[in-house]
Chains A and B, each alone.
Chain A
């Protein structure tokens, strides 16, 4: 375990399996990887179902608490709890496949319409964060690699280790106290206006999420750039007398990006967890706050739908990370 190359798993991040068959090409590998994703999605749906509907002795009772038996019976009927478990699962999963996630118990809206609006908001937050954090990490990582072992590099490494160890809500609360409530009063502490015109209230949530990504991604870019800079082909390019600029932009950076691109996709998957807490902290109206509200209200159909969406998104980003890596790495693409 070298201190330069930090494996994603050492940071508590999941890494998708990348086992390639030696002889077959990338198409069959991607097909198998997709099949694997479908299996996991099935496992997740089963798990969500078991957790929500099969495990609690009586979900209707759990939702309503102490209520009249008639109301509990009505809710049991509405949720289809009187049917055998297998048909309950098949009904639910059949609805999921056709885009029908059921009806919210609290607002009486369809779950898919509830999730739809919030999904856009969360993707907006994640999108802006990526636009800020990814270029920033790449620039910082490349810069740190070129200035390797300088004072700035060491300070950067040290502070990134510390920043990465803080839970996102601690970073968030400290930033809120500094910029919004206690020391300075320049930024809003909650997000009420999520459009671009309310950009000021987006600054803090985006900053917190950026603080989650940058320490990890920047070290990844730094490590892979250093590796490339020490490679034979960069030495050859130097010996050929190529200018520094051509070496950096023509040879070093494109190759150093390969692990970073995979890291970026994994990071987005990881952010799906972080975004829940950050949305809660800033009362940002996204999927995370919707999930926490649904949990508080014991709104079973919304919880089920959201858990599935989060798991699906997580899986998708992990899958993207794998597929992109295979497509941009010739050695893996040709299977040699």
Chain B
């Protein structure tokens, strides 16, 4: 089996035994674990609920359907919230923003972090120039600074995405850099260098395919982190503002009446928990498969 298609066709054939397996194979093997399948089902279920929910919501998010904090009834299946609005409808509308912010900031953070890590790991000259400032970012307590900026510049969606992404970058860059250093010392990269491929080709065609699985794991971790941060912002009243709806905001608005009408607190908590657990099961399974593939002798 070859490390990458490129290295088999164009570089030295000896490269084949050295690289990691292509990530597609790791993913396929990971899906044999029942926990990974369960994780995928949980993630997809929450995604479907959040993105299709608005089309099926029985009421609008601002319509008053009863007295405040009513229990479940046939008209409002999960009861009403602090103003007498339908909890189920607000729940169905309230997933999009939070998931979208977490996923966008994870992709942005992993994209930028991986690019910086690749360059730092492959170019000793500017290694310090890239990694030292990132260490400074890691010296900051993320939640405090995100609170600070959203409080002063307003809780805007793009700002939250950018800030969470910023705090995602250093750890992704650090992991990518480490792996790049390892891959860059292998024979097939040396072969590609001898042949005279340009740097960009080596980074994107030889190195990147070999670190894509760990990056997938990183992406999963960053999504869980993003959910925790964005939901915490809304939960403390510093994220999306009323009358919008969002799972964290539902918790914030209705937690005072938890004893008499628990549904607006239970439902978003369970959805956030389900999503976080699903993502974690997926990434855990993939990273465990990866470790197992690495330990196998002579692939």
CA gap between A303 and B148 in the complex, in Å: 8
A318 touches B139 (CB 8 A): yes
CA gap between A269 and B228 in the complex, in Å: 17
* The residue from B141, B251, B281 contacting A310, defined by CB atoms under 8 A apart: B141
Number of chain B interface residues as a range:
35 or more
B151 touches A303 (CB 8 A): yes
Q: Provided the pairs A9-B175, A181-B259, A277-B232 are in contact, do residues A173 and B265 lie with their beta carbons within 8 angstroms?
A: yes
A174: B residues at CB distance < 8 A: 269, 273
Q: How far, in Å, is A167 (CB) from chain B's closest CB? A: 4
* The residue from A9, A52, A165, A177 contacting B276, defined by CB atoms under 8 A apart: A165
CA gap between A170 and B236 in the complex, in Å: 13
B280 touches A165 (CB 8 A): yes
B140 touches A170 (CB 8 A): no
A interface footprint on B124-152 (CB within 8 Å = 1, 0 otherwise)? 00000000000110111111110111011
B249 at the interface (CB under 8 A from A): no
Q: How far, in Å, is B254 (CB) from chain A's closest CB? A: 11
B144: A residues at CB distance < 8 A: 272-273, 276, 291, 306-307, 310-311, 314
A295 at the interface (CB under 8 A from B): yes
A44 at the interface (CB under 8 A from B): yes
A interface footprint on B242-269 (CB within 8 Å = 1, 0 otherwise)? 0000000001000100110010011001
A56 touches B139 (CB 8 A): no
B interface footprint on A35-61 (CB within 8 Å = 1, 0 otherwise)? 000001001100110011001100000
B276 touches A166 (CB 8 A): yes
B280 touches A162 (CB 8 A): yes
B228: A residues at CB distance < 8 A: 167-168
A176 at the interface (CB under 8 A from B): yes
B238 at the interface (CB under 8 A from A): yes
B interface footprint on A1-41 (CB within 8 Å = 1, 0 otherwise)? 11100000111101111000000000000000000000010
A314 touches B290 (CB 8 A): no
A16: B residues at CB distance < 8 A: 135, 138-139
B236 touches A177 (CB 8 A): no
A296 at the interface (CB under 8 A from B): yes
Q: How far, in Å, is B128 (CB) from chain A's closest CB? A: 10
A interface footprint on B221-249 (CB within 8 Å = 1, 0 otherwise)? 11011011001100111100000000000
A161 at the interface (CB under 8 A from B): yes
B140 touches A177 (CB 8 A): no
CA gap between A311 and B214 in the complex, in Å: 30
Chain A residues numbered 162-205 whose CB sits less than 8 Å from any CB in chain B: 162, 164-170, 173-174, 176-177, 181-182, 189
A56: B residues at CB distance < 8 A: 152-153
A273 touches B152 (CB 8 A): no
B258 touches A292 (CB 8 A): no
* The residue from B222, B232, B287 contacting A169, defined by CB atoms under 8 A apart: B232
Q: Provided the pairs A307-B144, A310-B144 are in contact, do residues A173 and B251 lie with their beta carbons within 8 angstroms?
A: yes
Dominant secondary structure at the A interface:
helix
A interface footprint on B271-297 (CB within 8 Å = 1, 0 otherwise)? 011001101110010011011000000
Q: How far, in Å, is B285 (CB) from chain A's closest CB? A: 10
CA gap between A185 and B265 in the complex, in Å: 17
* The residue from A3, A44, A291 contacting B291, defined by CB atoms under 8 A apart: A3
A328 at the interface (CB under 8 A from B): no
Q: How far, in Å, is A219 (CB) from chain B's closest CB? A: 12
B258's nearest neighbour on chain A, judged by CB, is A181
* The residue from A1, A10, A307, A318 contacting B145, defined by CB atoms under 8 A apart: A307
A280 touches B236 (CB 8 A): yes
B231 touches A167 (CB 8 A): yes
B121 at the interface (CB under 8 A from A): no
B217 at the interface (CB under 8 A from A): yes
B85 at the interface (CB under 8 A from A): no
* The residue from A3, A51, A170, A269 contacting B272, defined by CB atoms under 8 A apart: A170
If A166-B276, A276-B236, A280-B235 are given as contacts, then 12 extra A-B residue pairs at C-beta distance below 8 Å, sorted by A number, are A1-B287, A47-B145, A168-B228, A170-B272, A177-B266, A181-B262, A182-B258, A272-B141, A292-B236, A298-B151, A303-B148, A311-B144
Residues of A within 8 A of B (CB): 1-3, 9-12, 14-17, 40, 43-44, 47-48, 51-52, 55-56, 62, 161-162, 164-170, 173-174, 176-177, 181-182, 189, 269, 272-273, 276-277, 280-281, 291-292, 295-296, 298, 303, 306-307, 310-311, 314-315, 318
A-B contact pairs, 29 of them (CB 8 A): A1-B290, A1-B291, A3-B284, A3-B291, A9-B174, A10-B217, A12-B224, A14-B139, A14-B171, A43-B136, A62-B152, A162-B280, A166-B273, A166-B277, A167-B276, A169-B231, A169-B251, A170-B273, A173-B258, A177-B262, A181-B262, A182-B262, A182-B266, A269-B141, A281-B255, A303-B148, A310-B141, A311-B141, A314-B140
